Structure 1
Amino acid sequence: MKQNKYDDLGFFEKYSQMPRSVGGLNAAGEWSALRAMLPELRDKRVLDLGCGFGWHCRYAREQQARSVVGVDLSEKMLTQARDYTNDSAIEYRRLAIEDIEFQAGEFDVVLSSLALHYVDQFDVVCRKVHQYLVTGGTFVLSVEHPIFTAHAAQDWHYGAQGERLHWPVDNYQDEGFRQTQFLDHDVVKYHRTIANYMNTLINAGFRMKEISEPQPAQEILAMSSEMRDELRRPMFLIIAAVKE
């Protein structure tokens, strides 16, 4: 299933008001951890899968990447990305992540931020990325943590006074389709175990380099008292893998 909620006007308007949509990478709680896992980008050819507003594409060029291709299925997201971008070395293409087609060895670095939990055929994407990377190239991806995606409700368990008691984890081993709510809209996500993510990458020919279950940066925690609850369970999983 190739889902394109971001071209729904109501959904897109709500997404555009999120802190990370307004403030960019510095407003994304996982950014400092993801940035630390990226390789040297100078003179690299970079592919961003699910590029959204193009924040990571522009960051790559700030780090003097040679060229960047950003892929997204949403025309509204790409329109915004193009409006924010004034750089001929960045190209945006409208494609589903599963449908990407590039030359073997066309990229040195592939990254994907919070997009692949919307993709059903993760194994297909991993094999394609492996093909499109040079030997020694790096694939860095972030997804919603499997502890976060296991239970379709994706919400806290509350006490009688509305206090957050705990984050429920259920059906962890039951992988696949989840119908959940995001920004008051029905959204489809795909739950996978940590082992599934890692083994799929290994089976595609990657070597695991680094794994992170990041806490929000201190400046993010300072924005809201509710953000302190993000320390109670991991929300993100970040993996850096290298093509052997």
Structure 2
Amino acid sequence: MNNEYDNEKFFNEYAKMARSQNGLEAAGEWHQLRPLFPKLDGKKVLDLGCGYGWHCKFAVEQGAKQVLGIDLSKKMITEAQKRNADECIQYQVAGIEDYNYPPNTWDCVVSNLALHYVENLDEIFKKIYQTLKADGIFLFNIEHPVFTAGVGQDWIYKTDGTPKYWPVDNYFLSGQRNTHFLGCDVVKYHHTLTQILMGLLNNQFDIAVVEEAQPPKEMMDIPGMTDELRRPMMLLVKAIAKKKR
């Protein structure tokens, strides 16, 4: 897993984003993601790719008794400790691939906009299933395959600079995509819809919810937001780890 978030230029640009400055309410997908969370009172929650720790703090506010947020970026963990510290939250510098995933430990595993940086999703799904308790919830938001298959992950523009259409190519050729994001070269991984959903089913998850993120009406006055209705950017999935108790 690459670590662009410790790049000083990238991190500084990321810090300017609305979701960085104002938290979950500024995230266009939050109105869809929040209702998918299970009841967390007295539960243990693992956040994979926790970033600033917004979801960790939310879990505690919902009554979680123990939360662990991991992120490969030292800068992100430092920021999380500043912004979203709590006695019930522990933050740890660790990659999603590198965490040890102790068996039958967590009631809920959440990951928001991190799994498209992972090359081998199937292996991570297997580890997450292992670390969840029986009927534990795996809730994640990943960049949509239509988005990751976008050519350069950008629009084709008209002569006046407005978006003309979103090009998709090499959809079934999964793997590394070199993109340009926040002024930096960034490596992501494209996974088809089949790979994501069948990856869950093949690793013994039951799929409870699949949603494609759409920005809420109250954000439509933000410049460029109406274009987010022209192609899906994010895929939200809620899965259940079915195990014998």
Give the TM interval when normalised to the shorter protein. Answer: over 0.9
Residue aligning to 1:12:
11
After superposition, give the CA deviation of every residue in 1:89-117 in whole Å (9 maximum; x if it has no partner).
10001101001113211100000000000
Residue aligning to 1:91:
90
- 1:85 is displaced (CA, Å) by 2.8
Q: How many residues align?
A: 242
Residue aligning to 1:38:
37
**Contact 2:151-2:168 at 8 Å conserved across structures:** no
Q: Which amino acid in structure 1 is aligned with residue 80 of structure 2? A: A
Match of 1:235 among 204, 224, 233: 233
How many Å separate the matches in 2 of 1:85 and 1:31? Answer: 17
How many Å separate the matches in 2 of 1:162 and 1:75? Answer: 37
Residue aligning to 1:26:
25
After superposition, give the CA deviation of every residue in 1:66-101 in whole Å (9 maximum; x if it has no partner).
110000010000001001133111000110100111
**Contact 2:150-2:166 at 8 Å conserved across structures:** no
After superposition, give the CA deviation of every residue in 1:38-82 in whole Å (9 maximum; x if it has no partner).
111111100000000000000000001111000001000000100
Structure 1 segment 80-159 matched on structure 2, within 5 A: 80-159=79-158
- 1:124 is displaced (CA, Å) by 1.2
- 1:158 is displaced (CA, Å) by 1.3
How many Å separate the matches in 1 of 2:218 and 2:239? Answer: 28
Residue aligning to 1:55:
54
Overall identity of the aligned pairs, in %: 46
- 1:12 is displaced (CA, Å) by 0.5
**Contact 1:209-1:240 at 8 Å conserved across structures:** yes
- 1:119 is displaced (CA, Å) by 0.6
Indicate the RMSD between aligned Cα atoms, in angstroms.
1.0
Is 2:223 aligned against 1:225?
yes
Q: Which amino acid in structure 1 is aligned with residue 201 of structure 2? A: I
How many Å separate the matches in 1 of 2:151 and 2:231? Answer: 16
- 1:161 is displaced (CA, Å) by 2.3
How many Å separate the matches in 1 of 2:52 and 2:211? Answer: 24
Matched residue SS, 1:99: coil
Q: Which amino acid in structure 2 is aligned with residue 233 of structure 1? A: R
8-17 or 82-91, larger mean C-alpha shift: 82-91
After superposition, give the CA deviation of every residue in 1:128-177 in whole Å (9 maximum; x if it has no partner).
10000011001001011111110241111112222211111111111111
Residue aligning to 2:65:
66
Matched residue SS, 2:224: helix
TM-score by length of 1: 0.97
Matched residue SS, 2:23: helix
How many Å separate the matches in 2 of 1:196 and 1:99? Answer: 22
How many Å separate the matches in 1 of 2:88 and 2:18? Answer: 27
How many Å separate the matches in 1 of 2:164 and 2:84? Answer: 43
Residue aligning to 2:196:
197
How many Å separate the matches in 1 of 2:4 and 2:16? Answer: 15
How many Å separate the matches in 2 of 1:129 and 1:139? Answer: 8
How many Å separate the matches in 1 of 2:153 and 2:85? Answer: 38
Structure 2 runs not aligned, ≥5 long: none
Structure 1 runs not aligned, ≥5 long: none
